[in-house]
Amino acid sequence: MKDMTRRNALWMTAGLLAVTVTPLPVSAADTAMEEITQFTGGSEAAESGRVSLEMPEIAENGNTVPLTVSVDSPMSGEDYVKRVMVLADANPRPGVATFHFSPRSGVAEASTRMRLAKTQNVIAVAEMSDGSFHMAKATVKVTIGGCGG
C-alpha cells in the first residue's frame, strides 16, 4: 500500500460519506400512499360506491388518457364534496390533479386528460364536508408510455 497522504485520506472520507448518505430509491407506489395519507390527514379512505372513475381499460397511448371522476353527493349546504385528489401510482410524480368543490358546484364531477407512464392504478380520493373520505381505483393498461418512465 502506498503512503497515506492527507489528500488520499480526504478522498477516501468523501467517498465513504457519499456511499452512506445516498438515499434508497422510493417507489412511486410508496409516494402515492404518502400523498393519500397527507391528503386524508392519516384517516382511512373507505372504498365505496360514492366515487366513480370513468377511464378506458386499455390506453393505446399513455400521453393522453381521458378521465372523469364523479362523487355521488347531494351537494347541499350540509352534505357536499370538498375536494377530490387523483393519483397515478406508478408515475414518477403520482399526484395528477386536485379538484375543489362547494355546494354551489351543483355536482361533484370533473373531466381531464392525464399522462400515464405505464400500466398502473389510478386512484381518486374524495373528502366530504363531514370529514369522511371515500376512494375508487381503476387499473389502466398502457401500451405506449407517456411519462418517459
Give the pLDDT of residue 10. 67
Per-residue cell: 147: 411519462
Question: Is 74 part of a structural domain of the chain?
Answer: yes
Question: Is 112 part of a structural domain of the chain?
Answer: yes
Separation of alpha carbons 91 and 132, rounded Å: 27
Which range of residues forms the domain containing residue 82?
Answer: 26-142
Separation of alpha carbons 139 and 33, rounded Å: 16
Give the pLDDT of residue 103. 96
Residue 91 contacts residue 62 (beta carbons within 8 Å) = no
User: Dihedral sign, CA of 45, 50, 55, 58?
Assistant: positive
Question: Is 9 part of a structural domain of the chain?
Answer: no
Question: Is 18 part of a structural domain of the chain?
Answer: no
The domain that holds 64 is classified in CATH as 2.60.40.2470
Question: Is 117 part of a structural domain of the chain?
Answer: yes
Question: Is 69 part of a structural domain of the chain?
Answer: yes
Question: Is 11 part of a structural domain of the chain?
Answer: no
Give the pLDDT of residue 18. 53
List, for the chain, all residue ranges whose pLDDT scores fall below the cut of 50. 19-25, 149
Per-residue cell: 143: 401500451
Separation of alpha carbons 125 and 121, rounded Å: 13
Question: Is 13 part of a structural domain of the chain?
Answer: no
